Amino acid sequence: MENLILYKMTWEEFEANIRDVLEIEDGVVLNRDEILEDTEFWSSMHALLVMAMAESEYNVSITGEDLRKSSTLGNIYELLKSKIG
Amino acid sequence: MSFFSIPNISIDGVCGVVPKNILNNKDYDYINEKERQFLIKTTGIARKRHVDKGVTALDLGERAAKELIEKIGWRKDEVDLLVLVTQSRDYYLPSSAIILQHNIGLSRDCMAFDIGLGCSGYVYGLSIVGKFLQTGQFKKAILVAGDVSSVSTNYEDKSTYPLFGDGVSATALSYSKGAPEMFFDIQNDGTNHEAIIIRDGGAKNLFDEDSTVVKNYGEGINRSKKDLELNGLDVFSFSIKEPPQNIKNILEKTSTPIESIDYFVFHQANRLIIETIRKKLKIPAEKVPYSLTDYGNTSSASIPITICDQLKTEASNKKMLLCGFGVGLSWGSCILDTKNILCLDPIEY
C-alpha cells in the first residue's frame, strides 16, 4: 500500500486492519479510548502483530518505546498516522 | 567497514545435532490453551529439543564435528582451524573450543578459539573462518556453532521458554583456489545490549545468592538474573527493521538482483519476524525455508540446521543469502555460491 493512500487512513480503515491482524471477532466492539491491557484481545504478542502490520503493510517502523507509550487503540492509530505522514 | 568479500572458499559439508528430548509447545502448561495456540500460530514453533542435564553445547558440537569429518572423508590431522561460536560455554575459562579440539581428536597444531555470539554468530563465524582460509595458509577448517539455551530459559517466562531449542552445527570449509567470492555485510549496535541479556554470572555481576531469586517482570514472566531476559518489543522492532535493510545493502553493493537468489536462509527467530522480513523484501515463500517448527530458535545453529533439515541436496550449486540477527544487538548477511555441499540429516544426540 502506498504511503500517499495511507496518509488519509481513516479510523474505519485502521479498525478493519486491526480486526483482521488481531483476529478480533465482529461482535467485539473496539473503543479507541479503551486501555488495551484491560481488553480481552490484547497481549504482548498482539503488540508484535501490530508492529509487523505497520512494517509489512505500511512500510512504517514502530519501536518498542512507541508502543509502550501507546495505551489505547486510538494512540496507535494516531501514531501510525503520524509515521505515515 | 561492514562490507567485505572473501575469495577462494569452499563449503564442503554441514551437519546439525539436536537432543532427543522433544518438548511440544502444545503441552506448555504455564500458559492457558488459548494463549498456547496463539503462541504456536504466531511464532510457528510447535516443538523444540532440550538436552539432558549435564549435556552441553560442547558435547553436541563434538558429535557434529566428528560425524561431519568422517562423512566428508577428512583426516583429523589435516584440520588447521576450529572455531566454536557459542554463548553456552562449559566454563568461565578455559575456552570451550580448546576442549572441543581435544575431544574431537584434532591436532595440537589446529588453532582453536571461541566466539561469544548468538543468533548472528553463524554469519560471523563463516566470515572469520573464511578470512583465515582465503590465502591458503590454512587449508581446512571446522566451524562449530550453536547453543544449549535450555539451561538459561525459565519455564515460567513465556517470552523465552517456548521459543528456544538446543542445537549445535558443524560446517566444513576449505581453501579452494578460484572459488566464487563470498560477500558479507555485518553490523552491530551496542546501545541495545540489554535487549537480550543474561545479567549475572559474568565479571560485571558475579554470580551470588541474589542471582537465583525469581522475580516477576509482568504477566507470565518470572525469571532470575541467571536466566535469559528478552525484551520482546525492542527485539522484534529491531528484527523487522535492521536485517531487511542489511539485505538490501548487500544486494545493492554486490549488484545482485534479489530474484537471482535461490534461497534466503534466515536465523530462525520466529515465523512472524521472518514472514515480515520476507513480505517487506517481496521474497517468494518457496525461497524461504523454515526449521523452527520442529527445532525452535537454536541460536547460531539455526541457519545450518535449516540448510540440513530443509534443503539437503537442494543446497548444492545454489546462490544463497544467509541472514543472522539477534543478541548484541548484532546482525549480518552473507551471499555465497555453493558447489557440492554434503548436508547430513539432523542427528539426534
Per residue in B6-50, pLDDT (tens digit) is: 999 999 999 999 999 999 999 999 999 999 999 999 999 999 999
C-alpha cell at B127: 566470515
Q: How many beta carbons lie within 10 A of that of residue B59, not counting itself?
A: 20
**Following DSSP, what letter does each residue of B315-349 receive, concatenated?**
GTT-EEEEEEEETTTEEEEEEEE----EEPPPEE-
The size of chain A, in residues, is 85
**Cβ-defined contact of A61 to B237 (cutoff 8 Å):** yes
**Mean pLDDT throughout B260-264?**
98
Residue A34: predicted pLDDT: 86
**Mean pLDDT throughout A43-62?**
88
Beta-strand pair B167-175/B140-147: antiparallel
Domain range for A46 is 3-84
> pLDDT exceeding 70 applies to what percent of chain B?
100
Chain B residues with beta carbon closer than 8 angstroms to that of A62: 237
Distance CA B92, CA B74 (A): 31
**Cβ-defined contact of A44 to B159 (cutoff 8 Å):** yes
- pLDDT-based confidence at A59, cuts 50/70/90? confident
Total structural domains in chain A? 1
Give pairs for A7-11: CB < 8 Å, separation 24+: A7/A81, A7/A84, A7/A85, A9/A80, A9/A81, A9/A84, A11/A77
Of chain B residues 301-330, which have a CB less than 8 A from chain A? none
**Mean pLDDT throughout B152-176?**
97
Residue B1: predicted pLDDT: 64
B298-341 pLDDT tens trace: 999 999 999 999 999 999 999 999 999 999 999 999 999 999 99
For residue B161, what is the DSSP state? T
A52: nearest CB among B159, B232, B276: B276
**What pTM was computed for the model?**
0.94
The answer to whether residue A47 neighbours chain B at the CB level (below 8 Å) is yes
The answer to whether residue A45 neighbours chain B at the CB level (below 8 Å) is yes
Question: 3-class DSSP state for residue B46?
Answer: coil
Beta-strand pair B167-175/B9-18: antiparallel
Specify the CATH number for the domain of residue A28. 1.10.1200.10
Active-site residue, selected from the candidate residues B110, B119, B323, B334: B119
- pLDDT-based confidence at A6, cuts 50/70/90? very low
Chain B residues with beta carbon closer than 8 angstroms to that of A67: 233
B69-95 pLDDT tens trace: 999 999 999 999 999 999 999 999 999
**Mean pLDDT throughout A14-28?**
87
Q: Could you state, in order of their start, the residue ranges of all structural domains in chain B?
A: 1-349
Residue A2 in this model has a pLDDT that exceeds 50: no
B177-223 pLDDT tens trace: 999 999 999 999 999 999 999 999 999 999 999 999 999 998 899 99
Helix (H) or strand (E) holding A83: helix A73-84
The CATH homologous superfamily to which domain B1-349 belongs is: Thiolase/Chalcone synthase (3.40.47.10)
Residue A5 in this model has a pLDDT that exceeds 70: no
Beta-strand pair B196-197/B222-223: unpaired
B339 contacts B14 by C-beta, under 8 angstroms: no
Task: Look over chain B and give the mean of its residue pLDDT values, rounded to a whole number.
Answer: 97
Residue A24: predicted pLDDT: 87
Q: Which of B334, B151, B310, B315 is nearest to B228 (CA)?
A: B151
Q: Residue B89 to residues B64, B98, B118: CA-CA distances in angstroms?
A: 16, 11, 12
Chain B residues with beta carbon closer than 8 angstroms to that of A48: 42, 232-233, 236, 272
Distance CA B7, CA B339 (A): 14
Residue A26: predicted pLDDT: 83
Residue A44: predicted pLDDT: 84
Which of A71-75, B12-16, B97-101 comes out lowest in average pLDDT?
A71-75
